[in-house]
């Protein structure tokens, strides 16, 4: 007669309930620390430390020669908000961001859809789209800036040839605040297209072909197929592209500095160009720091609202 041996299996505490054992969280963090420490150090050194120095300088009285004369509280912020042109500059900054991001996204959606189709020379066209991204933003802006010159600008001459303007000498695109700002938007869209287009093109690769074929078999029109099937699948790529574009465009300086820097006054300024003027022209490091803090807070608020409303990481 055989005996059945009953073995008792010990179950770790908390395993039966599915709860993690106490004390493992700290150990896991220590184990992961060597891997995340470089990233944390980079974030602290590149983001938090400069932001801390910027806020510190914004509460100081710093002379034009860079001498710290002591604390002044929030006087520099009062100077920023009491500046007569601050709110027009703030409004122009919002217009700048919205115009560039919206136009970039709309054009990129069309361009990505085109580049996703099979046609002769597609690889060459895809490479050509990268060129504005690979080229220097300052160089691209300077080419267009001199191309708009009244007397020798090739773009200005082309606009005369097609009848858009009467004489090249009679119109100075870069001498007028409104036209220079409008051309700045055109350039910003041009240099933003490659990143946005390739981000959306990568998203198009994930759209299931069988779903599109099923829609065609059901008799759905191309527009309905695009808006009902393709566009929802691009939600993740589109939302991330919009978020990165908002941050980049808001903080953009080179395009506006080249295109509007020679225009007197503040009729073509955004917050970034105003910060540059405080530093370069007026040598007010403390006030520039205060305006930089304001800009930093504005970006954080915009990003927080965007992430809360859009939820870029949410599954479709």
Q: Give pLDDT tens digits for 212-234.
A: 788 788 777 888 888 888 888 88
Using the structure block, give the residue that is written with the tokens 């700048």. Answer: 96
More confident residue, 166 or 47: 47
State pLDDT tens for residues 155-198: 888 888 887 777 766 567 888 899 999 999 999 999 999 999 99
Q: Is the pLDDT of residue 99 over 80?
A: yes
More confident residue, 215 or 116: 116
Instruction: Check if the beta carbon of residue 77 is closer than 8 Å to that of residue 294.
Output: yes
Region at 124 (left for phi over 0; alpha for psi -120 to 50; beta for the rest): alpha
The band of 28, judged by pLDDT with boundaries at 50, 70 and 90, is confident
The band of 4, judged by pLDDT with boundaries at 50, 70 and 90, is very low
Q: Is the pLDDT of residue 242 over 50?
A: yes
Burial class (CB within 10 angstroms; exposed 0-12, middle 13-18, buried 19+) of 70: exposed
Rounded distance between C-alpha atoms, residue 263 and residue 257, angstroms: 10
> Which one of 39-43, 116-120, 220-224 scores highest in mean pLDDT?
39-43
Which residues are CB-contacts of 101 (< 8 A; sequence separation ≥ 6)? 242, 245, 246, 249
CATH label, 99-265, candidates 1.25.40.850, 1.20.140.10, 3.20.20.70, 1.10.3720.10: 1.10.3720.10
Two structure tokens written together for 170: 């009679």
Query: What are the boundaries of each domain within the chain?
Result: 99-265
Average pLDDT of the residues in 68-77: 90
Rounded distance between C-alpha atoms, residue 157 and residue 174, angstroms: 15
pLDDT at 16: 46
State pLDDT tens for residues 255-313: 999 999 888 889 999 999 999 999 988 889 999 999 999 999 999 999 999 988 887 76
Rounded distance between C-alpha atoms, residue 60 and residue 68, angstroms: 7
Which residues are CB-contacts of 171 (< 8 A; sequence separation ≥ 6)? 150, 156, 165
Q: What percent of the chain has pLDDT over 70?
A: 89
Averaged confidence pLDDT in the chain: 84
pLDDT at 165: 77
More confident residue, 80 or 11: 80
Residue in 261, 264, 283 with CA at minimum distance from that of residue 272: 261
**177-204 and 122-134 are packed helices; what angle lies between their axes, rounded to 10 degrees?**
130
Rounded distance between C-alpha atoms, residue 258 and residue 273, angstroms: 10
Least confidently predicted of 81-85, 202-206, 303-307 = 202-206
Rounded distance between C-alpha atoms, residue 264 and residue 62, angstroms: 26
pLDDT at 296: 92
Average pLDDT of the residues in 92-111: 95
pLDDT at 218: 79
pLDDT at 1: 46
pLDDT at 314: 65
Q: Is the pLDDT of residue 19 over 60?
A: no
Average pLDDT of the residues in 68-97: 93
pLDDT at 24: 60
């Amino acid at each position: 007669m055989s005996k059945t041996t009953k073995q008792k299996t010990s179950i770790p505490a908390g395993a039966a309930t599915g709860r993690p054992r106490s004390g493992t969280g700290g150990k896991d963090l220590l184990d992961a620390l060597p891997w995340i420490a470089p990233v944390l150090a980079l974030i602290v050194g590149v983001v938090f430390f400069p932001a801390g120095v910027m806020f510190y300088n914004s509460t100081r009285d710093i002379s034009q020669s860079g001498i710290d004369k002591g604390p002044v509280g929030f006087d520099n912020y009062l100077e920023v908000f009491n500046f007569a042109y601050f709110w027009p500059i703030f409004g122009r900054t919002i217009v700048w961001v919205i115009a560039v991001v919206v136009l970039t996204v709309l054009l990129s959606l069309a361009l990505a859809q085109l580049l996703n189709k099979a046609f002769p020379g597609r690889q060459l066209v895809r490479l050509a789209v990268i060129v504005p991204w690979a080229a220097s933003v300052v160089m691209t802006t300077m080419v267009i800036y001199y191309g708009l010159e009244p007397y020798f600008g090739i773009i200005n001459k082309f606009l005369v040839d097609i009848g858009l303007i009467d004489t090249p000498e009679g119109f100075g695109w870069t001498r007028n605040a409104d036209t220079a700002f409008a051309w700045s938007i055109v350039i910003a869209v041009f240099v933003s297209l490659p990143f946005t287009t390739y981000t959306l093109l990568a998203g198009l690769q994930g759209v299931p072909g069988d779903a599109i074929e099923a829609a065609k078999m059901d008799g759905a029109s191309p527009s309905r197929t695009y808006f009902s099937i393709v566009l929802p699948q691009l939600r993740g790529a589109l939302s991330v592209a919009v978020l990165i574009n908002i941050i980049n465009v808001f903080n953009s300086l080179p395009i506006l500095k080249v295109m509007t820097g020679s225009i007197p006054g503040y009729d073509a300024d955004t917050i970034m160009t105003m910060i540059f003027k405080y530093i370069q022209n007026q040598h007010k490091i403390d006030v520039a720091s205060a305006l930089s803090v304001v800009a930093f807070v504005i970006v954080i608020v915009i990003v927080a609202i965007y992430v809360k409303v859009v939820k870029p990481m949410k599954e479709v």
